[in-house]
């Protein structure tokens, strides 16, 4: 559903290409510094550059300045979020909720704070900002509990670098070129990420454009992760043989000396 909406918006954004004469809406030409991030042996995170141009019809800059919001969103997955509480003196996981569509990564950068750009309703529709992520709790629970849990998750993920919000990340040059750096930490989940750019003026989203970014394990890391996932028996056997060999080798080397 959301995908379809995004597609529609995207088509809407592309429409001026075919019907440039009829439309007054500007168009976005976005790009990312790399279409794929490979997680390799010494991967400690990367910075993704989201950049592009704003094309105004007739190449005339409007009088009031437009703002840009960029969002990099990782694959959504179902999670169980647990909350620790003190029970009989010790801290244990006391309650939990299930969230069906929790993004493993979400970063938002803008040229001004989001609340200055759009009203709450618009922000909610386009899921702009950490507070507006819709995570689809799978059972009904009181709003206060849900809010508390979502705040807890946001706080946790923010400190892990998995959620990121920077209202000054986007730099707009001459009103037409924009760029934003988004830090991607080492512990990001792998999958297909979507980099979305929103052009906003006077509280209205004028154009949306998106690009996919693949984040994947590569080379040896990919091989190991796949083996661990799909061939548990052989993987375990390899681990056992390796540890036996290393243990034996060390003993043999030291005995000779």
Partner 1 sequence: MDLYLPVANLSVNALVIVLLGGGVGFLSGMFGVGGGFLTTPLLIFYGIPPTVAAASAATQVTGASVSGVLAHLERDGVDLRMGAVLVAGGLVGSLIGAALFELFTAWGQIDTVISILYVVLLGTVGTFMGREAWLSYRAVQAGLPPPARKRRHHPMVANLPMRWRFYRSGLYISPLAPLLLGAAVGVLTMLLGVGGGFIMVPAMLYLLGMGTQVVVGTSLFQILFVTIATTMVHAMTTGAVDIVLAVLLLLGSVTGAQFGARFAQRARPEYLRLVLAAIVLLVALQMAVGLFIRPGEIYSVQ
Which residue ranges make up the site for partner 1 (CB under 8 A)?
Answer: 39-44, 79-84, 86, 89-93, 96, 102, 149, 152-153, 155-156, 186-187, 189, 217, 220-222, 224-225, 228-229, 232-233, 235-240, 242-244, 246-251, 254
Q: Closest approach of Cβ 12 to partner 1, in Å?
A: 36
Query: For partner 1, which is the closer residue by CB, 10 or 235?
Result: 235
Phi and psi based region of residue 52 (left: phi greater than 0; alpha: psi -120 to 50; beta: remaining): left
Displacement of CA 133 from its chain's centroid (Å): 11
Q: Is residue 188 helix, strand or coil?
A: coil
What token pair was written down for 241? 């043989």
Q: Closest approach of Cβ 3 to partner 1, in Å?
A: 24
Determine contact, residues 150/135, Cβ cutoff 8 Å. Answer: yes
Q: Closest approach of Cβ 253 to partner 1, in Å?
A: 8
Query: For partner 1, which is the closer residue by CB, 20 or 92?
Result: 92
Query: For partner 1, which is the closer residue by CB, 91 or 140?
Result: 91
Phi and psi based region of residue 174 (left: phi greater than 0; alpha: psi -120 to 50; beta: remaining): left
Determine contact, residues 32/49, Cβ cutoff 8 Å. Answer: yes
Q: Closest approach of Cβ 178 to partner 1, in Å?
A: 31
Q: Is residue 216 helix, strand or coil?
A: strand
Q: Closest approach of Cβ 160 to partner 1, in Å?
A: 10
Query: For partner 1, which is the closer residue by CB, 190 or 205?
Result: 190
Q: Write the DSSP assignment of 117-183 as a string of letters.
A: HS-HHHHHHTT-SGGG----BSS---HHHHHHHHHHHHHHHHHHTSEEEETT-EEEETTTEEEEEEE
Q: Closest approach of Cβ 129 to partner 1, in Å?
A: 20
Query: For partner 1, which is the closer residue by CB, 60 or 257?
Result: 257
């Amino acid at each position: 559903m959301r995908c379809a909406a995004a597609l529609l918006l995207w088509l809407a954004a592309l429409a001026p290409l075919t019907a440039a004469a009829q439309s007054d809406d500007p168009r976005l030409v976005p790009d990312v510094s790399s279409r794929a991030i490979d997680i390799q042996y010494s991967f400690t995170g990367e910075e993704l550059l989201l950049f592009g141009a704003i094309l105004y019809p007739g190449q005339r800059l409007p009088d009031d300045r437009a703002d840009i919001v960029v969002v990099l969103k990782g694959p959504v997955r179902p999670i169980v979020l647990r909350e620790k509480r003190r029970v009989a003196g010790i801290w244990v996981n006391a309650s939990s909720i299930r969230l069906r569509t929790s993004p493993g990564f979400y970063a938002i950068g803008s040229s001004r704070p989001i609340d200055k750009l759009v009203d709450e309703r618009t922000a909610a529709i386009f899921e702009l900002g950490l507070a507006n992520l819709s995570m689809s709790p799978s059972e009904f629970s009181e709003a206060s509990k849900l809010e508390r849990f979502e705040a807890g998750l946001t706080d946790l993920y923010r400190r892990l670098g998995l959620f990121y919000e920077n209202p000054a990340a986007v730099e707009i040059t001459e009103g037409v070129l924009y760029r934003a750096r988004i830090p991607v930490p080492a512990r990001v989940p792998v999958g297909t990420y979507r980099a979305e750019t929103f052009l906003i003026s006077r509280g209205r989203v004028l154009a949306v454009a998106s690009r996919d970014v693949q984040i994947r394990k590569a080379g040896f890391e990919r091989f190991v992760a796949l083996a661990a996932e799909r061939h548990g028996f052989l993987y375990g056997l390899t681990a056992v043989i390796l540890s036996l060999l290393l243990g034996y080798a060390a003993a043999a080397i030291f005995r000779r000396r």
